[in-house]
């Protein structure tokens, strides 16, 4: 597949390559815009980028555009693809570009062009009679877009600013082959069935209410799940020598100015006045961790010093980006900050990478790593950034772990390794991260006394494993489709008495299991057994114990399992002690 860059260079590659795939989806967005302009000439075009999975385009329609219109637009897109239009790129002057867009009556494009710096080059891509102001790149011909689907319609503020006009955003996906589209649509349907918001409600795990958009309420079963993850986190971190702390949920403005967050993160921080002084609710835990480090002098003998925190943070995310537990305004970061000497950096990066690998393997995830490099709004010297980036690169290379470069997506204070896990339906989620930081120890004046008796500056690692415990729960819900492994299930066993006559025996069974540390419920409702079994299945409980006359008389339980490799859910009758031993072994 050929791709045309804005400098006129043509490169070749496969759809699996990131640049080729993005060019393919970007061109698909242009085909969408061309189809819309053919059908509705008065429509104003805004932007149409490639995104992680597909593309979208924002339009200002003169009428109420709905999903009913998508079929008509798709039909026009098919015509454009069949026309086999070659793409051509040309550089134009600023004056030409402005005149072009004024004549075309495209106010959004005009605003974008006028917002460019004087020296920035301006490019236009043309396919047939349609010309678009765009930096590219694009595939060389529309005929390569052999399979596509417009997926949905949504509202989107121009430039993401709620003070601007609401536009209509059309989402789509496209592929070179029909089979790829078919597979993707199946995956989307599977993802819809696994939607953590739907399952979270049905399984009684969490709720997000109108009184608190983006602020999750955890229900009893959901809190069991959350606490299990926290208990596991604490267990492995104690083993690895981490000390756990807890820092305040809000701190004064001076702290955030020192850390640099006030300048670089201000737009998503919640602030308030306390005693006529500016405070901010913490969007992250690291400045508090630095204050703890500075409470007493440190020796090189104490390093590496590993400090962990399960800190509740708040971020002022835009309402349009909120998505259940995946994108919330408050969440628990499983943070840790490691203070170390330069000769300890490589080992600590490796140790964290091994810990993340251990956790992801436990949940059945594979993953890939991105090395995110220096962003535009960074702080610190070129030398520090080069050293930090090289250290991360060398650590993963020495471990033999493959990685890809993600240019310009590092934190403002340092480069990072981002761990993208892959779930059971092939989607990827960025969770764990290792950030190497020379800057915050410098800004806070952090020190330790070296073997030479002199003061030295420690180097700092910021790292998370889950990322956000809430988000990780959302990922787990969708990964397992609500069928959590036995150790993680909020309810591991449900006891189903055949009738009210056996409630006492059911209660006895439950009490015995609880005493053995097994999470159990009794379905005490006056319903038929078949109904209770269906309900337990819907609740995705791993084991059902049916108790009736024979079970009560012989002190047995009749066991059904949710998951069976051979498809046989009936495990038969057994003594309670035998069942308890089996489930404890599974856990």
Q: Are residues 386 and 513 in the same domain?
A: no
The token pair that represents 36 in the structure block = 């819309």
Q: How many residues does the chain have?
A: 587
The tens digit of pLDDT for each residue in 183-233 reads 999 988 988 899 999 999 999 999 999 999 999 999 999 999 999 999 999
Residue 544 φ/ψ, nearest 5 degrees:
-120, 130
Residue tagged active-site, from 45, 134, 286, 330: 286
Is 486 inside any structural domain?
no
566 confidence band (pLDDT: 50, 70, 90): low
- Examine residue 485 and state whether it is found in any structural domain, yes or no: no
Whether residue 177 is contained in a domain is answered as yes
β-pairing, 54-60 vs 122-127, is unpaired
Is 298 a known active-site residue? no
Decide which of 172, 190, 208 is a domain's last residue.
Answer: 190
Instruction: Kindly state whether residues 184 and 204 are assigned to the same domain.
Output: no
Last residue of a domain, one of 190, 215, 249: 190
Mean pLDDT of 383-406: 86
Q: Is the pLDDT of residue 484 over 90?
A: yes
Read off the pLDDT of residues 278-291 as tens digits, 9 standing for 90 and up.
999 999 999 999 99
Residues 529, 461, single domain; the answer is: no
**Helix spans in 163-260 (H):** 178-193, 196-202, 220-239, 253-259
Question: How confident is the model over 403-435, as pLDDT tens digits?
Answer: 888 888 888 888 889 999 988 777 888 899 999
Q: Name the active-site residue from 26, 315, 479, 519.
A: 315
Catalytically annotated residue among 58, 334, 335, 418: 335
Tokens of 127: 């396919």
- DSSP 8-state class, residue 155: E
Q: Is residue 71 part of a domain?
A: yes
- Residue 256 pLDDT exceeds 80: yes
Is 337 among the residues known to form the active site?
yes
Whether 333 and 285 have beta carbons less than 8 Å apart is answered as yes
- Residue 169 sits in the same domain as residue 226: no
Q: 320 and 265 in one domain?
A: yes
- How far is the C-alpha of 125 from the C-alpha of 62, rounded, in Å? 26
Judge if 391 and 514 occupy the same domain. no
Confidence band, pLDDT 50/70/90 cuts, at residue 253: very high
Asked if the bond preceding 230 is cis, omega within 30° of 0, the reply is: no
The CATH number that applies at residue 52 is 3.30.980.10
Co-location of 358 and 228 in the same domain: yes
Q: Are 350 and 449 within one domain?
A: yes
Quick one: 464 and 506 in the same domain? no
Q: Is residue 428 domain-shared with residue 298, that is, in the same domain?
A: yes
Is 335 an active-site residue? yes
- pLDDT at residue number 228: 97
Long-range contact list for 563-570, CB < 8 A, 24+ apart?
A: 563/483
Q: Is residue 562 domain-resident?
A: yes
Number of domains in the chain: 3
Percent with pLDDT over 70 in the chain? 99
183 is catalytic: no
CATH number at residue 307: 3.30.930.10
83 & 229 share domain: no
Q: Are residues 284 and 356 in the same domain?
A: yes
Identify whether the C-beta of residue 169 lies closer than 8 Å to the C-beta of residue 156.
Answer: yes
pLDDT at 565: 64
Alpha carbons within 13 angstroms on the beta-carbon side of residue 213 total 8
Catalytic residue among 30, 184, 416, 427: 416
For residue 8, the 8-state DSSP code is S
Contacts 24+ apart (CB under 8 A), 90-95: 90/123, 90/124, 90/126, 91/6, 91/121, 91/122, 91/123, 92/122, 92/123, 92/124, 93/122, 94/118, 94/122
Q: Is there a catalytic annotation at residue 180?
A: no
Confidence of residue 378 (pLDDT cuts 50, 70, 90): confident
Residue-wise pLDDT for 87-121, tens only, equals 898 988 989 999 988 998 999 999 999 988 888 88
Q: What is the CATH number of the domain that holds 573?
A: 3.40.50.800
**416 labelled catalytic:** yes
Within-domain flag for 123: yes
Domain span at 379: 198-480
At 324-355, the pLDDT tens digits run 999 999 999 999 999 999 999 999 999 999 99
Cβ(70)–Cβ(39) under 8 Å? no
Structure tokens at 327: 């994108």
């Amino acid at each position: 597949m050929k791709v045309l860059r804005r400098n006129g260079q043509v490169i070749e590659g496969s759809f699996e390559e990131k640049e080729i795939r993005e060019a393919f989806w970007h061109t698909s967005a242009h085909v969408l815009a061309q189809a819309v302009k053919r059908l509705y000439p008065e429509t104003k075009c805004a932007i149409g980028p490639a995104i992680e999975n597909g593309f979208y385009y924002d339009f200002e329609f003169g009428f109420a555009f709905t999903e009913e219109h998508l079929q008509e637009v798709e039909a026009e897109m098919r015509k454009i693809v069949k026309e086999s239009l070659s793409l051509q790129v040309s550089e134009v002057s600023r004056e030409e570009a402005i005149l072009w867009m004024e004549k075309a009556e495209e106010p959004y494009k005009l605003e974008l062009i006028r917002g460019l710096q004087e020296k920035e080059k301006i490019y236009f891509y043309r396919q047939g009679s349609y010309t678009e102001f765009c930096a590219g790149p694009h595939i060389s011909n529309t005929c390569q877009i052999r399979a596509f689907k417009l997926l949905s319609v949504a509202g989107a503020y121009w430039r993401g600013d709620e003070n601007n006009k609401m536009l209509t955003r059309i989402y789509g996906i496209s592929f070179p082959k029909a089979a790829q589209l078919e597979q993707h649509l199946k995956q989307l349907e599977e993802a819809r069935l696994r939607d953590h918001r739907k399952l979270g409600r049905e399984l009684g795990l969490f709720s997000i209410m109108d009184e608190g958009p983006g602020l999750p309420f955890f229900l009893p079963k959901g809190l069991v799940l959350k606490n299990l993850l926290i208990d596991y986190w604490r267990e492995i971190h104690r083993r690895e020598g981490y000390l756990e702390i807890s820092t305040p949920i809000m701190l004064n403005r001076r702290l955030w100015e020192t850390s640099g967050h006030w300048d670089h993160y201000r737009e998503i921080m919640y602030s308030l006045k306390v005693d006529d002084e500016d405070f901010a609710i913490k969007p992250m835990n690291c400045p508090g961790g630095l204050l703890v480090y500075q409470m007493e002098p440190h020796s090189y003998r104490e390093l590496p010093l590993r400090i962990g925190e399960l800190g509740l943070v708040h971020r002022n995310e835009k309402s349009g980006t909120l998505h259940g537990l995946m994108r919330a305004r408050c969440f628990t970061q499983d943070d840790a900050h490691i203070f170390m000497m330069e000769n300890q950096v490589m080992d600590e990066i490796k140790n964290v990478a091994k810990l993340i690998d251990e956790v992801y393997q436990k949940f059945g995830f594979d993953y890939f790593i991105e090395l995110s490099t220096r962003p535009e709004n960074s702080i610190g010297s070129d030398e520090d950034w080069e050293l930090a980036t090289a250290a991360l690169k060398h650590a993963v290379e020495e471990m033999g772990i493959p990685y890809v470069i993600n240019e310009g997506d590092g934190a403002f204070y340092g480069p990072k390794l981002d761990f993208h896990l892959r779930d059971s339906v092939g989607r990827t989620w960025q969770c764990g991260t290792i950030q190497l930081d020379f800057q915050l120890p410098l800004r806070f004046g952090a020190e330790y006394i070296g073997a030479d008796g002199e003061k030295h500056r420690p180097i700092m690692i910021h790292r998370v494993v889950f990322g956000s415990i809430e988000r990780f729960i959302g990922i787990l819900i969708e990964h397992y489709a609500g069928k959590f492994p036995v150790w993680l299930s909020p309810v591991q066993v449900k006891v189903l008495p055949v009738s009210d006559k056996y409630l006492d025996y059911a209660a006895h069974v439950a009490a015995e299991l609880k005493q053995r540390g097994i999470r159990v419920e009794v379905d005490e409702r006056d319903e038929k057994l078949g109904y209770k079994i269906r309900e337990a299945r819907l609740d995705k409980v791993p084991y059902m114990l049916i108790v009736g006359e024979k079970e009560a008389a012989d002190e047995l339980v009749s066991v059904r399992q949710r998951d069976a490799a051979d498809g046989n859910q009936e495990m038969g009758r057994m003594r309670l002690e035998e069942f308890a031993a089996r489930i404890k072994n599974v856990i």
